[in-house]
Copies of this chain bind each other. A is one copy, B any other.
Amino acid sequence: MAKEIKELTSRDENYSQWYNDLVIKADLAENSAVRGCMVVKPYGYAIWEKIQRQLDDMFKETGHVNAYFPLFIPKSFFSKEANHVEGFAKECAVVTHYRLKNDPRGKGVVVDPDARLEEELIVRPTSETIIWNTYRGWIQSHRDLPVLVNQWANVVRWEMRTRLFLRTAEFLWQEGHTAHATREEAIEETVKMLNVYACFAEQYMAIPVLKGVKTASERFAGAEDTYCIEALMQDGKALQAGTSHFLGQNFAKAFDVQFLNREGQREYVWATSWGVSTRLMGALIMSHSDNNGLVLPPKLAPYQVVIIPVYKDDAGLAVLNERVAVLSNELKALGISVKYDNSLNKKPGWKFAEYELKGVPVRLAMGARDLENGTIEVARRDTLTKETVPVDGIALHVKALLEDIQRNIYRKALDYRAAKTITVDSYDAFKEKIETGGFLLAHWDGTPETEERIKAETKATIRCIPLDGDLTPGVDMVTGKPSKQRVVFARAY
């Protein structure tokens, strides 16, 4: 789609505007005509497909299967788990009618008042209720357990303030819903999936994450415990990148899902649920990108290498086309995805800027002189450096380079996080440090009151009680009461 490449707003000048500009200009997504709902454009969706494919493989490797449950949830199901309805009732889309009819006044169509549903249907904001209602039919005996099911789906939460990828009324996600015979096994599953998420974030998205447990006030509505991975964006704000919930027997009790155990006794089933969403796209963008545009980790880039011919005339292009065809095949043989852009209506300089904006990890450029000299220009997106190297052996060189880029952007994000992770002992220091962002490790007395006060006064929330944190006790920085361990505070998306 032809368009002028305009400069992005600088990250330092206005981070929020930089993000919005980038999402639009890199053709990732745009706002739709429906309030709060986005259109995920082909380039953005191609990244999402890479994320999906990899996660799906990881879910299957850990024994899960996919299924699909209805989009709609009867209103009465919603009320069955008290905390759950409390958490979601205020932001859900409600279907009340099933038919339109011609406007009797002749103006288009109107809702047909005769086609009112007996019971309203909620567009799923999450599927625990409809799924646990279904599991009642699937689970009778301990031999039916565990049930290890995942669903890829769209969900709707009527958010009032929306931002592309980060918070949208409709979003795409996966939601795992598992059923177990024992508490221990369900907790094990909860932690296992948290680890899958952390592994995916670090090894594929190149985003370091903290693993931890949410405080009671930040817990999923209906969970006994919410585990999470928390990432740090380049503006010092935290972003919750995935959650895994231990649901106890709450939903089994709400939907009467019992099983006969090995001893022949009836017991309620134990549950977990876990999900990541298109929000990960926001995390990906904000972790690595710069003032020139997107920076994509090679493992999730729709194409890892772009090749651009630099030519004077048709004859010159023809020779380059032939040479690049050979080169492309060499790259593809190593499993590298390649785009050759020899379109005629754009100049090389325009293309360089375009693929930089789109975050393609490696750019190769080849001109007449390269053909003579047996060389090629290699530019890497992460460091914005380039070099001219012999074209012989370039495929292996690029393969190594892609691996280096994947490592490098992870290390860069890790260094950034290390520099922005600060131990704080006084509330004054906390208030000062929170202004420049980052993860603040501080002692907390464990009460929701103190948590709420800190949030009200500093806009910082407890991101998590870290799983592998220092367990040295101390005293709460606000109240002076005893604290078991430091927790992680930050301002967050």
Q: Are A77 and B40 in contact (CB under 8 A)?
A: no
Does A85 sit at the interface, judged by CB under 8 A?
yes
Inter-subunit contact B172/A68 (CB<8 Å): yes
CB contact between A70 and one of B38, B49, B73 (< 8 Å): that residue:
B38
Binding-face segment, A118-126, A186-194, A459-467: A118-126
How far is A153 from B103 in the complex, measured between Cα atoms in Å? Answer: 30
Contact B70–A41 (Cβ < 8 Å): no
B-chain residues with CB within 8 Å of residue A41 when the two chains form the complex: 67
Hey, which chain B residues are within 8 Å of A89, CB to CB?
99-102, 109
Nearest residue, chain B, Cβ from A68 = B40
> At the interface with chain B, which of A28-36, A201-209, A213-221?
A28-36
Check: A450 CB closer than 8 A to any chain B CB. no
The reply to whether A75 and B109 contact each other, CB–CB distance below 8 Å, is yes
CA distance A92 to B68 in the complex (A): 21
Closest to A41 in B: B67
B109 touches A70 (CB 8 A): no
Which among B33, B68, B143 is the interface contact of A130 at CB below 8 angstroms?
A: B33
Contacts of A237 in B (CB 8 A): none
Assess whether B108 is in contact with A76, with CB atoms less than 8 Å apart: yes
| Complex: A109 Cα to B74 Cα, angstroms | 11
Q: Which of A24-71 contact B (CB under 8 A)?
A: 30, 32-34, 37-42, 45-46, 48-49, 65-71
- Given contacts A2-B143, A39-B134, A45 and B66 within 8 Å (CB-CB): yes
Judge whether A133 is part of the interface by a CB distance below 8 angstroms. Answer: yes
- Verify B94–A149 contact, CB threshold 8 A: no
- How many copies the complex holds: the figure is 2
**A154 within 8 A of partner (CB):** yes
Whole-angstrom CA separation of A139 from B66 in the bound complex: 37
B73 near A34: Cβ-Cβ < 8 Å: yes
Cβ of B96 and Cβ of A97 under 8 Å apart?
Answer: yes
Partner of A94, one of B70, B95, B345: B95
When C-beta atoms are compared, the residue in chain B nearest to A147 turns out to be B1
Q: Is the CB of B65 within 8 A of A46?
A: yes
Instruction: Write out the residue numbers on chain B whose beta carbons fall within 8 Å of the beta carbon of A95.
Output: 93-96, 123
A95 CA / B72 CA spacing, docked (Å)? 11
A161 in the interface (beta carbon within 8 A):
no
Contact B90 A94 (CB under 8 A): no
Query: A129-177: which residues lie under 8 A (CB-CB) from chain B?
Result: 130, 133-134, 137-141, 143-144, 149, 153-154, 156, 158, 170, 172
Q: Which of B45, B98, B133 contacts A92 (CB 8 A)?
A: B98
Residue A91 is within 8 A (CB to CB) of chain B in the complex: yes
Please indicate the chain B residues that have their CB under 8 angstroms from the CB of A45 in the complex. 65-68
Asked if residues B170 and A33 are in contact (CB atoms below 8 Å), the reply is no
Note all chain B residues with C-beta closer than 8 A to A71. Answer: 37, 123, 154, 156, 170
A341 to chain B, nearest CB (A): 14
Collect the chain B residues with CB atoms within 8 Å of residue A48's CB: 68
Q: Does A355 contact B (CB under 8 A)?
A: no
A274 contacts B by Cβ under 8 Å? no
Q: Given known contacts A2-B143, A79-B109, is B68 in contact with A121 (CB within 8 Å)?
A: no
- Which of chain B's residues have a CB closer than 8 A to the CB of A149? 42
Interface residue? A111 (CB, 8 A):
yes
Task: Tell me if B100 and A94 are in contact (CB < 8 A).
Answer: yes
**A446 to chain B: closest CB distance in Å?**
30
The answer to whether the Cβ of A78 comes within 8 Å of any Cβ in the partner chain is yes
| Cα–Cα distance between A96 and B76 once the two chains are bound (Å) | 18
Q: Which residue of B lies closest to A69 (CB)?
A: B39
Q: What is the CB-to-nearest-CB distance from A2 to chain B, in angstroms, rounded to a whole number?
A: 5
Among candidates B42, B67, B100, B121, residue contacting A40 with C-beta atoms closer than 8 Å: B67
Do the beta carbons of A98 and B158 come within 8 Å of each other? yes
Known: A37-B72, A66-B46, A85-B109. A30 touches B94 (CB 8 A): no
Residues of chain B lying within 8 A (CB to CB) of residue A30? 134, 137
Complex Cα spacing A144 to B33, Å: 21
Residues of B within 8 A of A75 (CB): 100, 108-109, 111
- A contact set with B: CB distance below 8 Å: 1-2, 30, 32-34, 37-42, 45-46, 48-49, 65-79, 85, 89-102, 108-109, 111, 120-123, 130, 133-134, 137-141, 143-144, 149, 153-154, 156, 158, 170, 172, 345
Extra contacts besides A33-B133, A94-B97, A96-B96 (11): CB < 8 Å: A1-B139, A2-B140, A2-B143, A30-B137, A34-B70, A37-B71, A41-B67, A71-B156, A79-B109, A85-B100, A93-B95
**Can you show 17 pairs from A to B with CB atoms below 8 A apart?**
A2-B140, A2-B141, A32-B130, A33-B133, A34-B72, A39-B134, A42-B65, A71-B123, A75-B108, A75-B109, A79-B108, A90-B99, A92-B99, A92-B100, A94-B95, A94-B97, A111-B120
